[in-house]
Amino acid sequence: MGVALLDLVETALRVAKQALGNRAGKPDSGGLAREAHIVAHCIRKEEGHTYAELVDRLSLMPAVCDRLGINPDAPPDPTTFYHSFD
């Protein structure tokens, strides 16, 4: 994984948190933080992956998963991302 991807993740995470303001963080119902969904979508668009490919790629990127609060051994189902972007 290149440094450029980590830079993208850090920048997108910072911007997403700023944009979300007090709505940043985990939703009341649990699950992934809202900004993690946004950053995952940025990664997907940047690399041109499908939702299923995104989940597969995330499981291979522990540094990115760590920054997003995702367990690389148990990544979210692709439909989690699909529905959050729908």
Domain boundaries, the chain: 1-14+32-83
Residue type, 23: R
26-61 confidence digits (pLDDT tens): 877 778 888 999 999 999 998 899 999 999 999 899
Three-state SS for 5-66 is: HHHHHHHHHHHHHHHHHHHCCCCCCCCCCHHHHHHHHHHHHHHCCCHHHHHHHHHCCHHHHH
Predicted local confidence at residue 3, as pLDDT: 65
